[in-house]
Structure formats: structure tokens, C-alpha cells
Amino acid sequence: MDNERRKTLLRGLPSVDELLRLPELKEAVTIYSAPMVADAARIVLEGCRSSIIKDGIEDGIEAGIEAGIEDGALVPSAAALASLVLEEAARAVRPGMARVINATGIVLHTNIGRAILSPEAIEAVVLAAGGSVNLEMDISTGERGQRDARVERLVRRLTGAEAACVVNNNAAAVLIALNTLAQSREVVVSRGELIEIGGSFRLPEIISKSGCLLKEVGTTNRTHPADYEEAIGERTALLFKAHTSNYRVVGFTAGVPLKKLASIAAAHNIPVVEDLGSGSLVKIEGVAPPVVEPTVAQSLSAGASLVTFSGDKLLGGPQAGIIAGSAALVERIKKNPLKRALRADKLTLAALEATLLLYLNTDTVTRKVPTLRFLSRPFGDIDSAAQMAASLLRAALGPDYEVEVVDVESMAGAGSMPGQTIPSRGVSVTHGSLSPQKIYGIFLSASPAILGRISGDRFLLDMRAVREPADVVPRTGA
């Protein structure tokens, strides 16, 4: 397209003001406000302008002209522009965060928000969000209280810890624990445990950001008690153990069990801090193969001075980091000015308290906390859901698709139960001429988006963490 033609086309576009005077947009102003509609108009006009200017469009125009479409078609009619503006304004006020269906088979999927809260926890969040609450107040006396107190009481009861406190997430828990106990001093860690987990949590970096010096001991595959013994010196503040959340070192390996580590630390009068990651509070029953995650209580009774763990992994609550253990050490953490910067908000504390309350009844906790319920969901139940989903999908997708109930493997996810899969049932969707990627695209563009997984030449929907079979049938947005 020559420059002249381009200029003519650009001149053909209305101004923002002209657009706003269109009768079609009068009502939009009362719905979205004038500045929002003006913004939308600007975005739409900018889009038109750049398609006219973009070099890549030329071939399209040439092809269009050959096919008998006028240049002018590049400039949409006023009515078309108005409807583009309406669409753009509606898009701008739609929340970007939307529900998705988790048919990935990964129960705790970090990218889609990890744990789902129980109805009890949701109710507590709604209560705290919509009104004033006794967050830092002891109602019986009217005096100022501690925001962590209620959760602390429950964590003590559920884990046997002397004391506990809560911060924003487990990364923050590790950061503040190390900063409090080991600033400017050495933290001894096995080379086999220098973990990186998703979202750029790298233990060596957290240690250095905590103001501590990392003292690595042992090798990637083998670390012995003597390695720790030799590393301990005047500058040693603590021994640190990290749960290798997302991998397992197998083969010719040796690690030092927590109990042994605790006895070495005790002999030198220094603490042992264990970053448990998931920090399960109970043995999760009914999962085959059984869950091998250590519980917080086990770590504490094996001698950890402090343990840190997440609220939204196996615990099944909100995003939070919990530090539990020695009263003297927790007290020091509470006094660290970083605690103020990393403290949990009222919504988190409300959800966490409600979730922990469910753990008081060991008979019902697995049923009531969704994460635990999904992980221990009976195979037969998942199979029936898969059968039902398959027949709904067959009806919805038509005869061109092959829909089959198949065996799949679920995972806990989010660094819980590394390397462990749980047999599950799902639905495989294939099509004679569409690739599994194409099929996934169709499910992703549904409303709500349906997340599955591709395995070989199949698109799979794992039903373990899906609530209703109909949830995996793609629907188009309203």
C-alpha cells in the first residue's frame, strides 16, 4: 500500500470525540463512565490505526482488493466501531481473575491457586472481609491482643509445638526465621538440600537475603553426620534442613535424619530449623500408595527447634507461612521488625483458623478439607465421575470425537509428595483430525476454562479434583 492510500485510510477514521458522540455510545457512558468509554474508544482507534500502518497488512489488503473488497473496508463503519468500543469497555471492567476447572490431576496446582478452601474457611473469610472483627483485640477485656493468637493456640494443639506464628507464606517464614536466628552468621545446609522450588524460591538466595552466610556441607547425593560436625564453628548459628519438595535423590545416597541432626545441634547448643514445605498436620488416610510426607508433629518430636510450612499446600488452607516450635525462638521471631512487614492479613488468618478448627476432629477432617478429600477420594467415586463426564462429553462434542474413560495418575503438586503419583480415572478426548493441542485449546477457551493435560497423542481430563462431572463439558461464555 502506498503512503497516499495509507493516509487516506487513516484520515477516514473518526476522532475519539466523534466516536463518543455516536448515539450507540450514549448509554455506555452511563454504565461505564465517560473516561472509561473514552479510553475504550482510544484503544479501538489505535487498533484500527496500527492495522492500517502495519506493513504485514499490505498483503492482506492486496489480496482483499483482488477479491473485490474496497480499501474502505479497512475502516469499519461507525456502528461497527461503536460495538468494538462497547466490547472493549466491557472487557476492561471484567475481573481478570476467573474461575477455571482443575482437571489436571494436580490437586495443589500453584498456577491456579493451590488449595481450595473449605466452606467453613470461606465463611470465615466472608465474615472478616465484610465487617470489623476482633483481629487484634481480646473482646473479654477490650484490650489489645495478638493477631496470631487464635491460630497459634490451634497450631500448638495440633502439632505439640510450644509456640507458633504466622507470616505471608512459607518463603517468608524461612526468611524471617533465618534472619532472626542467624543474621551475619552461618547456616549449615547439606548440598543435597539446596532446593529451588517454583516461583524462584532458591534456598541459597533466601539465605543470603536473610543476611546469613550459607555453609554447604556434604555432596549432592551423600551427606554424613561428620560433615555437619566438621562444619560447626564459632560463626555457626544453626543447622538447616530443607524438605526436598520437588525431587528425590535416588541411588547411592545418604542423608542425615532429623533426629541425628538435632542431637548434633544440641551438643553444640545451636538450633535446628526444618523447612518442611508442605507440612502435613495429619497422616492422610485412604491414599494408596500412602502419603509419605512427614508431619509437623513428627519433625518437632524428632528434635526440630523450629519448623516452617505452608498454609496452602497439604494443609489445605489459605496462602500463609507457619513457624512452629520452641517458645523462646518464636518469641524472638515475633519481635523482629520483619514480622510486621510479613504479617498475615485478616482474611488469611480467618481462613487459616477455620481450616485448623477442622483438624480438631480427626474423624471428619479428611472429608471436610477439600485438599485432603481430593487426595483420598475413592477410586470408584472418581471412576463414576469419569463415566458420567464421558457420556456428557460424548453428547456435547458429537460423533467426530472419541471420548474414553482411562486410567490416569494424579499428583499432590506444589512440592508435596515428590515423585509420588496416585492412581486415578479420567477422560481421554481425541479427534481424527485435531491434534491434542488443538483440543486442549478448545477446552481452554471455554468459559470457565477447563485445564487438563496432554499425554502423548491424547488430551486427558483427570476427574480427581473436579467437583461435578458437568464441569468438564466446555461451555461458551455468556
Ligand X SMILES: *Cc1c(COP(=O)(O)O)cnc(C)c1O
Is 192 a binding residue for ligand X by CB under 6 A? The answer is no
- The separation between CA 394 and the C-alpha centre of its own chain, rounded to angstroms, equals 32
By beta-carbon distance, which residue lies closest to ligand X? Answer: 277
Q: How many angstroms separate the Cα of 109 from the Cα of each of 102, 198, 415?
A: 8, 11, 10
Q: Which stretch binds ligand X (CB under 6 A): 130-138, 217-225, 238-246, 369-377?
A: 238-246
* Residue 166 beta carbon to ligand X: minimum distance, rounded to whole angstroms: 12
Alpha-helical runs (H) found in 270-378: 296-301, 327-335, 337-342, 346-359, 365-368, 370-375
Q: Cell match 494436580: residue?
A: 106
Least gap, CB of 210 to ligand X (angstroms): 13
Q: Is 223 one of the binding residues for ligand X (CB under 6 A)?
A: no
Interface with ligand X, residue 104, by CB under 6 A: no
Distances (CA, A) of 454 to 280, 374, 438, 460: 30, 21, 11, 6
Pairing of strands 458-462, 401-410: unpaired
Angle at 400 between CA 397 and CA 402, to 5 degrees: 80
400 Cβ neighbours under 8 A, 6+ residues apart: 431, 432
Tell me which of 104, 118, 159, 169 binds ligand X, using CB under 6 A. Answer: 169
Report the candidate in 217, 215, 207 with the shortest Cα–Cα distance to residue 236.
215
Residues 350-409 that bind ligand X (CB under 6 A): none
Binds ligand X by CB under 6 A, chosen from 171, 237, 358, 461: 171
Among 135-143, 195-203, 294-302, 367-375, the segment contacting ligand X (CB under 6 A): 195-203
Candidate list 105, 192, 218, 277; residue touching ligand X; CB under 6 A: 277
Size, binding site for ligand X by CB under 6 A:
15
- In order of 188, 208, 220, the CA distances from 213 in angstroms are 9, 6, 19
**Residues 412-441 contacting ligand X, CB under 6 A:** 415
Binding string, residues 287-326; x marks residues near ligand X by CB under 6 A: -----------------------x----------x-----
Task: Select from 16-24, 239-247, 330-338, 440-448 the region that touches ligand X (CB under 6 A).
Answer: 239-247
Say how far apart CA 164 and CA 181 lie, in whole Å: 15
Cβ-based nearer residue to ligand X, 280 or 428:
280
Binding interface with ligand X (CB under 6 A): 169-171, 195, 197, 201, 242-243, 245, 275, 277-278, 310, 321, 415
